[in-house]
């Protein structure tokens, strides 16, 4: 059906609330959590499935996509009368993800606008199928590859870690336990080791493990130092991605490595298992990386990552030739700015 439309924020159009509109009548719970897994068979050939793979890896991994679309369409209508700043921080984040999804797939809003409520749910399930498929495949390949990356150079892991065993990783093995030890705890302390092994000490998702840090060194006076710059993360990123780094892809790969070391059996990021708490782990990393107050450190981190993953294309590693056209253009621009500043200062 074709519904009447209203102007929406960011140039999007949304269905009106007339009787013929396909706008869902009720908003669900937060869409930025994994919802129940659907059993309905979905086509893998729909382009939305392929798009869902990319979106889940690089923009936002933990979505209940049917709820994201349903909530987002209802919220577009709400924002006609209510400023975005007046809704909760959780809803603002969810709406940003919704807007990113609309912007990343041309024609998606029109498809939602003209479709029935069942069509909206179907579209969400297709995107979710792609995101879930990518997540499951990455989990499957990383759980084997990570053993090669954490093995001591020139030595075998002792006692051996089996590539598909679920019982000998996590806090059950000395090597993986040392990588998962929360930053700030003394791994050399016997009591700490035993508390982690026995689960007497429960580790929450926002207690980030030491493997996130370069050389596995944490500075309590400067927690940013080395964060998300470990060799293990670089190996994993190159294993999964060929695209430029985003803050969401960093959070995604860190969560996947965490899961590979724990060797969880499910592709769903758990928020009920206290020993892994993957959703909290993922969200807490995004909370830091999306914080405007941390933008300088985040910008430096992204520059560092692009140098590691794409060293040949890093502008910072290519000095500009003194007599090049680019050099002359920049010199001219500097001269023009200086002349303008002098003129303004003397007027």
What one-character-per-residue DSSP string does 281-316 give? HHHHHHHHHT-GGGHHHHHHHHHHHHHHH-GGG-GG
pLDDT of res. 161:
85
What is the spatial distance between Cα 180 and Cα 261, in angstroms, rounded to a whole number? 8
Instruction: Name the token pair of 70.
Output: 């349903």
**What six digits make up the tokens of 184?**
């700030």
CA proximity to 203, closest of 191, 222, 190, 185: 185
- The dihedrals phi and psi of 6, each to the nearest 5 degrees, come to -120, 155
In this prediction, residue 106 carries a pLDDT of: 94
- Cis omega (within 30 of 0) for bond into 18: no
b (16+ CB within 10 A) / e for 251-267 = bbbbbbbbbbbbbbeeb
Q: Mean pLDDT for each 10-residue chunk of the chain (347 residues)?
A: 37 44 57 61 83 94 92 91 90 94 95 90 95 92 91 87 76 89 91 88 90 96 96 96 90 94 56 64 95 94 91 59 79 82 63
Count other Cβ atoms within 10 Å, centred on residue 12: 19
Nearest 5°: the CA angle 198, 201, 203 is 115
pLDDT of 342:
65
Instruction: Produce one character per residue of 86-110: b if its CB has 16 or more CB atoms within 10 Å, e if not.
Output: eeeeebebbbebbbebbeebeebbe
pLDDT tens figures, 253-270: 999 999 888 865 344 455
Place of tokens 């959703």: 279
Residues whose CB falls within 8 Å of the CB of residue 143, separated by 6 or more in sequence, listed in order: 163, 164, 259, 260, 263
Q: First and final CA of the chain: distance in angstroms?
A: 63
In this prediction, residue 5 carries a pLDDT of 34
Query: What confidence score (pLDDT) does residue 156 get?
Result: 87
DSSP classification of residue 29 = S
For residue 218, the SS3 value is coil
CB atoms within 10 A of CB 123: 21
Rounded-to-integer distance, Cα 63 and Cα 132, Å:
10
With a pLDDT cut of 70, the percent of the chain lying above it is 80
């Amino acid at each position: 059906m074709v519904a009447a439309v209203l102007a929406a924020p960011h140039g999007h159009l949304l269905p009106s609330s007339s009787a013929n509109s396909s706008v869902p009548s009720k908003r669900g719970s937060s869409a930025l959590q994994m919802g129940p897994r659907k059993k309905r068979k979905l086509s893998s050939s729909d382009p939305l499935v392929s798009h869902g793979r990319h979106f889940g890896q690089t923009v936002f991994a933990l979505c209940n996509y049917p709820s994201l679309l349903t909530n987002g369409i209802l919220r577009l209508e709400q924002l006609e009368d209510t400023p975005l700043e007046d809704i909760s921080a959780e809803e603002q984040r969810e709406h940003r993800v919704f807007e990113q999804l609309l912007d990343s797939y041309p024609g998606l809003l029109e498809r939602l606008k003209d479709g029935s409520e069942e069509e909206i749910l179907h579209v969400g399930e297709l995107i979710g199928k792609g995101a879930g498929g990518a997540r499951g495949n990455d989990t499957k390949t990383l759980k084997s590859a990570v053993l090669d990356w954490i093995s001591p150079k020139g030595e075998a892991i002792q006692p051996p870690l089996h590539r598909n065993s679920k019982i000998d990783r996590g806090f059950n093995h000395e090597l993986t336990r040392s990588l998962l030890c929360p930053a700030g705890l003394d791994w050399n302390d016997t009591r700490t080791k035993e508390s982690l092994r026995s689960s007497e000490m429960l580790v929450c998702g926002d207690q980030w493990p030491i493997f996130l840090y370069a050389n596995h060194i944490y500075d309590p006076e400067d927690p940013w130092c080395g964060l998300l710059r470990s060799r293990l993360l670089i190996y994993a990123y190159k294993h999964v991605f060929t695209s430029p780094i985003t803050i969401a892809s960093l959070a995604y790969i860190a969560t996947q490595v965490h899961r590979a070391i724990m060797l969880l059996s499910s592709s769903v990021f758990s928020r009920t298992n206290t020993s892994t708490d993957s959703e909290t782990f993922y969200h807490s990393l995004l909370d830091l990386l999306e914080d405007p107050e941390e933008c300088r450190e985040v910008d430096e981190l992204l520059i560092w990552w692009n140098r590691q993953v794409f060293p040949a294309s890093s502008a910072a590693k290519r000095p500009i030739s003194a007599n090049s056209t680019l050099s002359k253009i920049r010199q001219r621009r500097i001269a023009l700015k200086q002349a303008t500043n002098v003129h303004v200062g003397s007027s």
